């Protein structure tokens, strides 16, 4: 089993990812940490506990993290995820409480324990990376417990929050820049599962109609139905769930190793991931040089393979 931690701002697609991570027999879900993003932090925590409860995983500790980005106000996305973040499904909400240990301390504890046991963890940020930035700058020694970071965010092509920027990076671009810089300094491998593949793992309404008989499967069906309704389509992407699929089955993902930076100052491009695909001959006149952090950037995904992986786990 591969040990993983998810960092989430639980909306509809984070819920798809949580169900997969909680139910797949190849993953050992060590902890989940929460950050404000798709909705406010209070709703993120409740949504996360609710999904884990549906998955039968009340054993997984849930840490409450940063409510706001490092430098700017939070800008939620109720038009995408509903007012409550779970598509206003009227699903029974968990009454459990999160761990008394704050997210950053929970991350540090789990990662240092993993380092001591030589059992490194894959960290899967599916949200603005505020918690991860704070962790790696406050406790850089915790990186010894990391096998890799596989994050959902960014784009080599167009954005969604703006023409240039993807939502998770745009929400806290300083945090994303810090995480990439720290990963380069600390030698942590990074994979970017961005918008270039995000929409390509689709579960159809027909496939989802066969889900049922357990709380996990019922919730999974409702998530696909609600996302399909929101987009007026006959199916829906599992979104963030694809990043978890990439950890379980990396052979289904095509990547290129490329330098990546985050734009922090552009009037129209703040939050853009600058993916440098130039050849070496194009770099000699660049006054900024090349980003010191090289990332495995996802460029293509086997969508049907990952859709079936998700379906088989949530059934």
Active site (catalytic) residues: 9
- Concatenating the DSSP letter of every residue in the chain gives -EEEEEEE--SHHHHHHHHHHHH-TTEEEEEEEE-SSSS-HHHHHHHHHHHHHHTT-TTS-EEE--SS-SSS-----HHHH-TTSSTT--PPPP-----SS-HHHHHHHHHHHHHHTT--EEEEE-S-THHHHHHHHH-GGGGGGEEEEEEE---SS--SSSSS--HHHHHSHHHHHHHHHHHHHHT--EEEE-HHHHTT-EEEHHHHHT--SSHHHHHHHHHHHHHHHHHTSSEEE-TTHHHHHHHH-GGGEEEEEEEEEE--S-TTTTT-EEE----GGGSTT-TT---S-EEEEEEEE-HHHHHHHHHHHH-
């Amino acid at each position: 089993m591969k040990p993983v931690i998810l960092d989430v701002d639980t909306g509809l697609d984070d819920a798809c990812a949580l169900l997969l991570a909680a139910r797949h027999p190849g993953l050992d879900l060590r902890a989940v940490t929460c950050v404000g993003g798709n909705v406010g932090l209070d709703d993120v925590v409740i949504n996360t506990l609710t999904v884990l409860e549906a998955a039968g995983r009340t054993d997984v500790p849930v840490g409450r993290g940063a409510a706001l980005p490092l430098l700017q106000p939070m800008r939620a996305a109720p038009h995408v995820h509903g007012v409550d973040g779970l598509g206003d499904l009227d699903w029974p909400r968990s009454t459990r409480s999160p761990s008394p240990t704050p997210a950053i301390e929970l991350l540090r504890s789990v990662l240092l324990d993993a380092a001591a046991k030589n059992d490194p963890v894959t960290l899967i940020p599916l949200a603005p990376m505020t918690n991860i930035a704070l962790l790696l700058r406050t406790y850089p020694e915790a990186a010894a417990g990391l096998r890799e970071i596989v994050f959902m965010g960014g784009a080599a092509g167009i954005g969604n929050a703006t023409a240039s920027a993807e939502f998770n990076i745009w929400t806290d671009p300083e945090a994303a820049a810090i995480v990439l810089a720290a990963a380069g300094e600390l030698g942590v491998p990074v994979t970017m599962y961005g918008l270039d593949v995000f929409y390509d793992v689709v579960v159809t309404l027909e496939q989802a109609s066969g889900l049922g008989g357990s709380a996990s499967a019922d919730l999974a069906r409702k998530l696909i139905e609600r996302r399909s309704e929101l987009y007026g389509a006959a199916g829906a992407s599992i979104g963030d769930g694809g990043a978890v699929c990439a950890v379980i089955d990396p052979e289904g993902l095509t990547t290129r190793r490329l330098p990546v930076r985050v734009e922090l100052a552009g009037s129209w491009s703040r939050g853009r991931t600058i993916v440098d695909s130039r050849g070496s001959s194009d770099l000699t006149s660049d006054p900024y040089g090349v980003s010191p952090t090289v990332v495995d950037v996802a460029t293509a995904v086997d969508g049907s393979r990952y859709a079936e992986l998700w379906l088989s786990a949530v059934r």
